[in-house]
Amino acid sequence: MPFLSWFKPIEIAKNLVFATKLETSTLDEPYLKMCNEPTFQFTKISKRECYDYLILGSGPGASQAFDVLSKKYNVAIVERGGFPKTPPQHHHTFFHLANDFYNGGQEFIFGNGLYPFSQGNVLGGGSEVNAGFYHKLPDHLKSEFLKNLNIGAEFWNINEKVVEQLLAPKYAGLDPNKSPIARGAINLDLNYAEIPRWQYIQKQGIVHNGLINNFWINYKEDCHIFLNSEILKIVDESDKYIIKIRQNDSVEKIIESKNLIFSAGAISTPYLLAKLNLIKWRDIKFQWHPMLRVTAQVDPTDLGLDIIDSFQAWDDDHNFKFGSAVSTKSLLAFTSGTTLSLENIKRFRSYYVSITSETLGSFIPRTNIPRYKLSISEKEKLKIGAKKLVDVIESGNGYVDLNARNMLKRLNLSTVHVFGTIPIGSSVYLPNSTILKNFKRVQILDGSILPKPPFVNPQGIIMTTCRIMAEANEAINVF
């Protein structure tokens, strides 16, 4: 969530009350029913079964690890969160943040300022809480990615196709004339496209096709999924690991597994590994997509109020990516810069420009708090990006007022894309794998392993990378 310093606290307070009332008024019986009737029941531990693989996490990387390995081995999942409590029509509201995000969506990167980011805390991970944009790996990054993975383009394309068929992203067929981003890109001669998503509109309403609907639901009866499970301790007994968990705040329980796969996300995975002394704190890196957001005024009929604007734009050199950020009442309460009303809220939309990080950050030792110091070139790039963002919006017939322009100049960053905390090629791994060199029955398969910032929404790229590395790891695994 953006900083509270966007405008006067009294206006923020008014807007929070306004947004909360509007969002509360839309809560209905289906919402309450969904909160009380989760699709998945907890897997009960009735005996000391020893799994071949235990996957810690259930997000994009975990899904591909499971898909590759479960065909041959006995695999189970341990997930910190539970089943999502927020239906798609209430995504990105205060209720969504409180129900389905880790720490209520309030986490920060420490750097030149405090940069907000958020993580999902549910079955399916980020696929269940984000906007669901699907991108292939951009062509200008392919050669470097493939070199790091030690594979050819054909092998990448085969696995990318498998992931795309799994996610089944759909184009909404939106009108670019209704998008300030598309209109601005056309007038400024930028590249632009409608991006397919997993969340789309049908006659019955919004459908969110995240990993639960697309993947985990198919294994509901056959897979052992331990939801709401906190990992308390992991003990190495040479031929197997003893994992102590606390499930749903109840008594402690024991799971045994010959191998462990950490797929808890780019923040939780390195934190757990370092806390368990499987890697050093100094081994943890940090990469991200720094993002500047601005609230603009547009025509009330423009995309982004009820249906998210799925158009994104970028320059020829791939220095900047422009898009529509989520513009729910909750988020506009912090960023609109004026007191909201039933009339003027129809005109406000949030937009962003993002860049790729150029250096490496780290974690504050013995914490799960990332830290990153912007380089001089990154600061200059963001200043240019801020100006270009205003140009795109206003060339697309939007309006950015003086208050919003001034906030952009302060470089109050945020992000929704964190990755590369233990990238492929790190000294902690066996060559051409993501198996830990000093613990050969432990591997990493999630956004932590991305070798470079992917410029675009990384979820599909993470899944393809993890699928490829799950196969590579399995081929050399010593168990």
pLDDT of residue 32: 46
Per-residue model confidence as pLDDT tens digits over 138-151: 999 999 999 999 99
265 and 385, same domain (yes or no): no
Residue ending a domain, among 375, 393, 415, is 415
192 and 319, same domain (yes or no): yes
59 and 150, same domain (yes or no): yes
d(CA 454, CA 141): 7
The answer to whether residue 361 sits within a structural domain is yes
The answer to whether residue 95 sits within a structural domain is no
Could you tell me the residue range of the domain that residue 68 belongs to?
Answer: 42-84+122-132+145-168+211-282+419-479
Residue ending a domain, among 415, 449, 467, is 415
The answer to whether residue 268 sits within a structural domain is yes
Whole-model pTM over 0.85 = yes
pLDDT of residue 36: 42
325 and 184, same domain (yes or no): yes
176 and 220, same domain (yes or no): no
CATH code assigned at 423:
3.50.50.60
The pairing of strands 311-314 and 321-324 is antiparallel
| Residues 131 and 310 sit within 8 Å (Cβ to Cβ) | no
Residue ending a domain, among 366, 384, 415, is 415
Regions of the chain with pLDDT less than 50: 1-7, 31-32, 34-37
230 and 243, same domain (yes or no): yes
Q: Which of 273, 277, 292 is nearest to 385 (CA)?
A: 292
Class of residue 193 by CB neighbours under 10 A (exposed 0-12, middle 13-18, buried 19+) = middle
326 and 178, same domain (yes or no): yes
Per-residue model confidence as pLDDT tens digits over 371-404: 999 999 999 999 999 999 999 999 999 999 988 8
What's the one-letter identity of residue 140? H
274 and 423, same domain (yes or no): yes
The answer to whether residue 71 sits within a structural domain is yes
61 and 151, same domain (yes or no): yes
320 and 380, same domain (yes or no): yes
d(CA 90, CA 100): 11
